[in-house]
Structure 1
Amino acid sequence: MGDILVPDTVKKNAKTAVSVGKPIVLYGPTGTGKTYFAKQLALETCIDYSIHTATPTWTPGDITGSIQPETEDGEIEYRRRAGCVSQGIEKADEYGDNWAVIVDEITRADISQVFGPLYTAIEDEDQVVFRNDDGESLTLDDDVKIICTMNMSDRTVNELDDAITRRFAMIELSRYGDDERASLFDRWIGGLGSEVEIDRDELRRLFERHHRGINEGTTTSSGDAIMEFGPMHYEDVTKFLAHACASDGPYEGEQATAVGQAFATYVAPRLLNAAALPQINRLASHYETLDDQFEAFDLGPAVDLATRQAEAEEREMGVSAYE
């Protein structure tokens, strides 16, 4: 899957937790590479993995398993349906090796309810997690590595059920240091290819100004940070540019336009999706500032996107105020 991009301390802590059989939660703001690192960690420590994304409709059965009624020829039969952890137990047994179960974005589900039966199994290795169709008892052992991810825009660690923080290793993927972030930007921009005629130094400077403006408030009048935002989203910008601005690409010779469209396609929507109205207004101001500062690039599409969302939010609040 490529090089591990997370800070070295994160990698060491995560690999140690997995090696001692501790389930882990990788948490942090959007764009810090949680899901990508979860897959890399799984492949480094296990024969393979399965990945499942939590939803608000999840029940304990989605984790441990359930018995479901099925109708066949007018008659009801009951079938056992393994949950994601039960499936992982079966896979580990099938291969006789470590198997990773990745549960992505766990805060989309009701953690206290959904993870309840799993907590007991984590603490008691003799606890039966599920019985499959053959009547075999499935129990959780060290061959099953549970790796979860959690977006900090959904909930803070302090708001989590104490039950999960006691049983899981909580590993933070926070903002990268200046040198680590610069190394990522250099790698991605360096991979644009010779066909893309773009000012790479200016693009690198845009990435850094954009990142600092979001995380440190360097483009806001108050000097307050807008939100936490990791660097991984900028890789999508460079991938877009590598194809769009190449020879015969749809934006060949229109690099300034392509950069703005890349930000409006991959970066601004992700920020706006997690933002409240005051943050949306600051994002609009942020993109206006960058558009003024970087004459080589047209960031108007990102400005328009943020402005339109701010206006829509204000109209909705206005309607609600009179109801």
Structure 2
Amino acid sequence: MTTAPASQVDSHADILAIGARVMRTEGEALLLFAASLSDSFVKAVDTMYAAKGRVIMSGMGKSGHVAAKIAATLASTGTPSQFVHPAEASHGDLGMITPDDVVVMLSNSGETSELSDIIAHTRRFSIPLIGVASRPQSTLLQSADIALVLPPAPEACAIGMAPTTSTTMTLALGDALAVAIMEKRGFKPTDFRVFHPGGKLGAQLLRVEALMHSGEALPLTGAQAPMGDTLLVMTAKSFGVVGITDAEGHLAGIITDGDLRRNMVGLMDKTAANVMHASPLTIRPDALAAEALGIMNERKITCLFVVDEAHTPVGLIHIHDCLRAGVA
């Protein structure tokens, strides 16, 4: 009976050294790549930015996984993009690639046979082709309209064959292209929210207007309203606060539970204007909900009235609304 050879890596220090070596190898390659960027990178950004259709990402094997990630990054930052598998393209999916599109094809060697049908398709229909590979004389880069060449750098594995450094450089190139296009487009946090409505990221980009209570739900009364009527409004709306408006409908003040306690003596003989706290903190409807939450936490209050440019109350946001939406 034969047994597997013992591992040559068996110490804590050896494993840490391997991890550090891989990271240094890939990090040095990225610095080399950054220094080697040329006009081809600028042309690629301009071509992808100008696409009337989508940026089609493609690659086989590990390059295909990287291409799919780049497509997702582009799509989430305002550049319509789609991954097309080269093998599936040869069996009908070429119809996904139109003359309005731009194709970005990844291949470390530039000689991956499965890419040939997409390359031929782009040449036949004059579809811009951006090739990414490590060999300038490869079929892919010789066929491409724009060639992005990966600099010579060793793979990070001990045998120098597993795609490691090369895929890291390709992934970083995709991020660089996406961010350059994003900034060229003037992509804003509000645009980012459109493509990231779910999860923590989406919650951080929610606007106050998306969470605020409005219309009949608002606890409002006039400045001259008797405190008896004011208490009824405050109780019915269940926010523990009531907004006080002046004759023009502007928010003049608020009354909280604390204000009631401070005015207990002769409370029912007073008007809302006698009890209210003037010039309360407010927020605009287009502000980020995270900003509203920050104000409430800092001032130790539970809600904010939302006012428009004329200082007319249009909503109310409660700290519980922010917490339920995942804003933190």
TM-score (norm 2): 0.25
Which has the greater radius of gyration? 2
Question: Higher relative contact order at CA 8 Å, sep ≥6: structure 1 or structure 2?
Answer: 1
TM-score (norm 1): 0.26
